[in-house]
Structure 1
Amino acid sequence: MRLRTLFRRFALPAVVSGLAVTGLALPAQAAEEEDFPYVAVIGPETVTVISGQSKTVKVDVYNVTDIAAKDVVVSFGDKAKPIGADLGFTPPEGCDKTTCDLGDFKPGERRTLAFSIKPVAAAGPATTIPVSVRAGDLPGFGSSIAVVQTDKGGVDLELGDIKDLKVGRGKSADVPFEVRNTGNRDVEAVGLFVISPYSDVVPALNYRNCLDDEELGGIICVIDEPLAGGGTFTLPEAAPLRITVKSDAPGPYEYPVLVGAVGLSGDYLDDFARKIANAAGAELKLQSVPTASADEPDGIDDLNPDDNIADFTVAVPKSSADSKAIGGVFEGSAGQTVSVDVGVQNLGPTGTVPPSLQYIPYVHVTIPGGVTLSKIDDMCMAGTSLDDLVDPESLTGRDYVCVMDGLAKNAKALFTFTGEISEGEHAPGTVIVDGGVQDSKNGNDTAALTVKLTSGGEGAGEALPITGAPTGLLAGGGVALLLAGVIAYRMARRRRIITVVE
């Protein structure tokens, strides 16, 4: 279905921006012993403004670490490039002309700032707004937002802010939101999508022209009506977007949800119409559409696709999950190369939480003496903890950290180590699970990893099967990307990385 490609084009930047702040491409200075908070400012690279109109621009200020950030200040413009009066810059509410004193940020805290611009014609076809952030006396890092004017105009859909939710297990909540066309042209039809990356939080829009799409991982709705320039669309109060948290959803965790809107043309409507031809129920219609018309847009181009997405979180309270370490045995004769699977099993009663910036589930594996490794699992790297990682591909040490996704009740995460057994002593190793705040039963957090010599001559034997990363993790491609990001973030913690601005 071609709509998936379209919706992914709008949703992907939101996902990628979330990954960017985890440390995949963080600027760094010389390494130091002390840890520092990293405060990110995430905003659009370019903003297009219709000549004579104002445009609201939003940036997120995000403490992406588990360290509190003190005296956070965001600045617009600098000495080299001050913001000129002809840009029509109105600062965020509560800020002075160019500076926002935001105070302290808790670990993981995020706040949104919204400013507006209304350039005059003399401002020229393009200009920039420098944006920077600092935390106390720590040096800041900055980037800029390009402002482009257009006389042609066009469609400019944007989502209003959606408040974060707190929802208990087995409970539901309504999610009001608003779609605006702040451009000066009609859009022929509107496509909505709601994506919840985790199955523990389930969105629902009960309309015949909304479909659950497993490949997209969410809901697609197509409203075959025009939304005029200046028009606003809201869901009926009697049938809103509803979010349900499953009764066994793990916590504490803030589950992300994305809501987006895109303009559609006739090329995208026919296939969807065939799919819902026999669907039952009420049809989702546009609400509060002005009667004034405008020129029909060309295709589905949107002046500012960055604000077509709104994200919010669903906070689920703490649950219990007993993580049990799974040990193993390197069994074979001296000189033989063998493999062993070790890891963790979740005994429940609920699942374990997925990885986040605040917590990454992991297992610490210590290899027994007398084993020379030749291969480690793709999800493992050398080190004793996530705060003490060495070369990710090192095979010379004994200590390794293996990270994993959240686990359902009774599910296992196994990691494969392959090595050659040598003659002599074989001091035992261990498998130690970090079960986080969910795991209050510590008696089964450690298991043995040993060597058992069998009879037979020396020489390379056939290795046991190598299973690689857990199948469930590979199936959830987005989760694997997130995991890669948080691994990189943890690896960068010992570097003095202060801020990131996208």
Structure 2
Amino acid sequence: MLKHSTRRWLTGLSVAGVLVAASPAPAIADTPPFTVGAPNQLVAPGHSTHGWLMAPPTRDDEDQWKFGRTTLDVDLSEVEDFATVEPMPDGWACEASSSKLHCEIDIPERQYPRFDYTLTGKDDATPGQQGDLTVTVTSGGVSATGTARITIAEGADLVSDEAVEISGAPRSRVDLPGVVHNGSATTVNGVVLMLQASWLVKYAGDYSNCASLNGLNAVCTFDTQLEANKSYQLSEDLPLVVTDQARTGAGLPVTLDWWTKDDWTLIYRDWPIPGLEPGHGGELRLLEQTGAKAKAQQTDVDRTNNFTLATIHVTGDNPADLAAKGATASGKKGDVVTVLPSFTNFGPAALEIQIEKLPVRITIPQGTTAVEASGDCVPYVPGEEWDPENAEWAEPGAREYACLASEIAVGGEHPYVFALRIDEVVPDATGTFAVKLDGDPKAQNDSAKIIINPTRNGGGDGGQGGGDDGPTLPITGAPTGLITAVGGLLLVAGTVGYLVARRRKTRFVA
């Protein structure tokens, strides 16, 4: 099971793609209580890839299967001659032989088994070799089985620009270039480009070889033969439109992800994307970059370098006014009280997810201890360096917290739930709730009070407090939670976020 912090900093999206793909269907009579999903895998000789499987319940209600003690048995006999399987440490206790893998784990209530492993092609493996991993999951005396077809593929290495910076005002069109380099020693037989963008950016193309999902995101297929050690660029920059809700000063993420056709076909076959509609215009092509420096089935042996993160810097004059709202509570010594300070977005722009800065800062009132903290918050310590993937989100006991902010439409509210134990009754014990966003046009409503045991009406001033100018927590480096995918595209986005997070280790300093 993933740690809370990892789920947060992959924006819930990297893993969400996989979870959506494997979400349980409504139960019918005589269906098993859970099923095993085990995607097929391609791996090149001498290289490794990330594999996974899961066993979701077939019911999604209060009566869904409770796993508890669960065992997992993998039959490796069909693949042991050409590949190895190594469990990733994630709570499973495993015993392995050359042909068998037996693992056990206790699954918490309302969760289900997920098993991640490293698949490695042996050095002497030959492209075309195939075999099945047979996986059996057992819980409560009930077993279910699934298979993953493992195929040795020819290795390829697609490489793209790591970052692109472009700008545009709300309601304007921006053009995004795309470049891919074949860094392998063999010709790549066609590629697929997946475009994913913030919901505040719309794909505006109509190419016949690009399919889109209701104008959101796109998948483009190219039959071009990419020769070894040559670079190729799109014949036209991809047209995008910044929506009228985009906030001036925002940096909106857009990603370009290049796949070999065989890798894409494998993913698409296992988790088909519903609703993709092809365009009706001309063909978008790949053209060889003249003079550019050289930077069976085919699989990309390094999926961490074929991913471009583009940032659209929003210009113009379209701010978001975030107004803080405080909270009050009363109790006696030893009581645990709940407070819900919040902010409301009064627009006129929507608030995009805040990754480069954590805009909310909370101080805990005197005489109280935070025994439960919001899952959006981490303890704030001035000058201390934080690692978002390993930070203890929702850690109790801190005196100050810094909190992220999710996407909030105009009129939307973002609450932060804290449970405070009253250690000492202090009349009008006061903490603060402050929200600081670059470009916010109204500083006077940026802070409010959290008051425990107020003695007069006026605690939790509804956002009309005195404006605490404490710093936010800047993040150094590129964002990790950078994929805003929608609809069916989440089905393939899961792997992308996982790889990008490993590619770009992000840290921030308080």
TM-score, normalising length from structure 2?
A: 0.49
Instruction: Give the TM-score taking structure 1 as reference length.
Output: 0.50
Q: Which has the larger radius of gyration?
A: 1
Name whichever structure is richer in helix by fraction.
1
